[in-house]
Every structure is written in structure tokens, then in C-alpha cells.
Amino acid sequence: MNLPLSKYWRIFRVSLIERMVYRGDFLLGTLFRFLPMVTTILLWHAIYAGSGKTELGSTAQYNLDQMVSYLLLVHISRMFSSMPGLAGGIARSIRDGSLKKYLLQPIDMLGYLLTYRLAHKTAYIVTAALPYGILFFLCSGYFHLGHLDAVTVLAYIVSLLLAFVLGFYFESCIGCLGFWILEVTSLLYVVNTLNFFVSGHMFPLDLLSPFWATLLKSLPFSYLAYFPAAVFLGQVRGEALIWGLAVEVAWCVTFFILSRTLYRIGLHRYSAFGG
């Protein structure tokens, strides 16, 4: 990046103002996003009732309250890590030639998009705070917070911030494949579908056999949904917590370097048609 930090701050402010214009849309979208959660809670009530067990899991045990709490917390994880439209937008800029505006102006594309996403997430979190607060208040009976301490809360916040960084650069890598692939939509659909299942979005990875649970927890997908929620619930503690955060940082650095490398190499073969 070759822009002074002050210019990125101006980009953040302008982007934030732009996104806050649509705060009503954010609020309505958030409300409708909660509706499937009702069905999910009823489904897990039926699963526990049908199993005749009070706890489920192989590498860690979840009772019904912990399961519902986990599924609610996954929404927070995805709020930070999901980057809708990022990869497709990068690929589209490459394909239609609009990428050249970043080459003609003193601005780094990935730096600009990172700042824009920061503004988008800030607007979304502020707008969604009220409906999420109401939802968690109504479901407060499922949460048992006796295990929470300052270290756990701090680790949870750090894991969420790292999830944002990881989600951004992971999607950026897919978008930069547009230098070599004409259309990344199909690839993006496959990756997002896979991500939905192996990130722990549907259920805690601890429900799987030890082999599969350990394997999936080591992949970057788990840090987009499972890991922050598990940290908050106290399922990851001590050395496992330190190791988990270290691995998450390592994945962030890996995808940061990979995205910058793909972007730099891709520019050498970019023809800048259209735009």
C-alpha cells in the first residue's frame, strides 16, 4: 500500500456514510435473517428429545442450552467473517476492465476494499445491534455465563477480529483468481457451499468423530464460524486457546501473503480492456 493512512481514513468515513444511508435495509435484512433461527432451535429440541440424551458430542459435550447458544453465537461469527460480493466484485473488475482505475490512481485495490469492508461491517454491526440485542435477551435462558472471565472475553473479541481479516483475504484470493479464470462464480459457489458445512455453521465440529473434528478444526474454515463461538462457550481453554489463536493468526498471514502475491502476479498478465 502506498497511500498515507489519512487517505484510508477518509475512504473509511465516506464508505461508512454511504453504508449508513441503507441502515433501514440492514435492519430489515437482519430481522428476516433471524426467522430460520426459530426453526433451528425447534429442530435441536427435537433432536435432543429423540436421542434420549442430555449431551451430544465426541471431542466436547454440548447440552441443549449450549447447542442453542452456539448456534446463536455463530451468527455473530459470520457477521464478522462473511464477505458477500467481495470475490465476485474483484473478479468482475478484472473481467470488465474497471480494475484499471486502481492502477491509474494512487490507491491500492486490496487496501481500498479492506477499508470499504471495515466501514460496511461497522455500519452493519451498529445497525444490527438492536435486533441482535433483542434476540439474545429473549434467548438469555440458554446462556450460562459462569465460566466467563476477562481472558475469555478478550480472546473472543480477538478471534472475531481475526475472523474478519481471514474472511477478507480468503475471499480476496478467490477474487484474484479472476486473472486466470474468466468466471469465478461456479468456483465461489462450490467454496461457499463447502464452507457452510465444514466451518461449523450448521453444528459444532465437536459432534463429529475425533478424526474429522481434529481435521476440520485445523482448516481455515473453522475460524470463520466455529472457533469464536467455541471460545465464548468455554469449549477452548488454556493451551488449546493459545494454540487456536496462533493458528488463526497464521492463516490470516498466509492468506494475506497469498492474496498480495496473486494480485501482483495477476497484474503482469492483465490487459486492461474495457472499463
pLDDT recorded at residue 96: 84
User: Residue 166: pLDDT band by 50, 70, 90 thresholds?
Assistant: very high
3-class DSSP assignment, residue 216: helix
pLDDT recorded at residue 136: 84
pLDDT recorded at residue 87: 92
Q: How far is CA 166 from the centre of its chain?
A: 7
pLDDT recorded at residue 23: 60
Task: Name the residue among 215, 241, 239 with its Cα closest to residue 227.
Answer: 241
pLDDT recorded at residue 94: 87
Segment 19-47 mean pLDDT: 71
pLDDT tens per residue across span 191-245? 988 998 899 988 899 999 889 999 999 999 999 999 999 999 989 988 999 999 9
Cell of 161: 477480529
Amino acid occupying residue 5 = L
Segment 144-171 mean pLDDT: 93
Distance, in Å, from the CA atom of 262 to the CA atom of 25, rounded to the nearest integer, reads: 34
pLDDT recorded at residue 252: 97
When comparing pLDDT for 235 and 15, which is higher?
235
Q: Would you say residue 1 has pLDDT above 50?
A: no
What is the overall mean pLDDT for the chain?
Answer: 86
User: Is residue 102 a contact partner of residue 173, using CB atoms and an 8 Å limit?
Assistant: no
pLDDT above 90 coverage of the chain, percent: 41
User: Is residue 23 a contact partner of residue 127, using CB atoms and an 8 Å limit?
Assistant: yes
pLDDT recorded at residue 34: 66
Segment 6-21 mean pLDDT: 70
- Provide the whole-model pTM: 0.86
When comparing pLDDT for 179 and 166, which is higher?
166
User: Residue 20: pLDDT band by 50, 70, 90 thresholds?
Assistant: low
When comparing pLDDT for 190 and 129, which is higher?
190
